[in-house]
Amino acid sequence: MSHRHRHRASGFTMLEVLVALIIVATALGASLRAVGSLTQNSSGLRASMMATWAAENHLVQIRLAHDWPPIGKNSSECPQGELKLVCEEEVIATPNPNFRRVEVSVFDTLSPERRIIKLVQVVPHL
């Protein structure tokens, strides 16, 4: 009687390798999606910060002019860095005739229907 020893090759089967590749690919895909989301949030926060600076600059210019702002709407460009922004100023009368309400809204010229920020300030008559 001869005893034949079957030698089993050590290593991974093709099925095991494919399952491992699927797991790695899924993890990489999720990582890439997370990085893309972080990048998008970062650019949105940056645009919001730049728009806030533009609106604050606009309000400071009104205060420094020491001029009583006329009632109505006015629009002007207010770029910040490479962002092309538009500041829309609206001056509204208040119940107290010695004050006016100034609202500054900032829009991106690439998507003018989307307001990025709106700041409001009450300006006293000097």
What pLDDT digit, counting tens, does each position of 28-85 carry? 988 888 888 877 777 788 888 999 999 999 989 888 888 888 999 999 999 988 889 9
Q: What are the pLDDT digits (tens) for 8-21? A: 667 778 888 899 99
pLDDT given for residue 85 in this prediction: 93
Instruction: Please give the torsion angle defined by the CA atoms of residues 109, 106, 77 and 121, in that order, rounded to the nearest 10 degrees.
Output: 170
Of 57, 53, 65, the residue nearest 100 (C-alpha): 65
pLDDT given for residue 89 in this prediction: 93
Q: What is the pTM of this model?
A: 0.65
pLDDT given for residue 88 in this prediction: 93
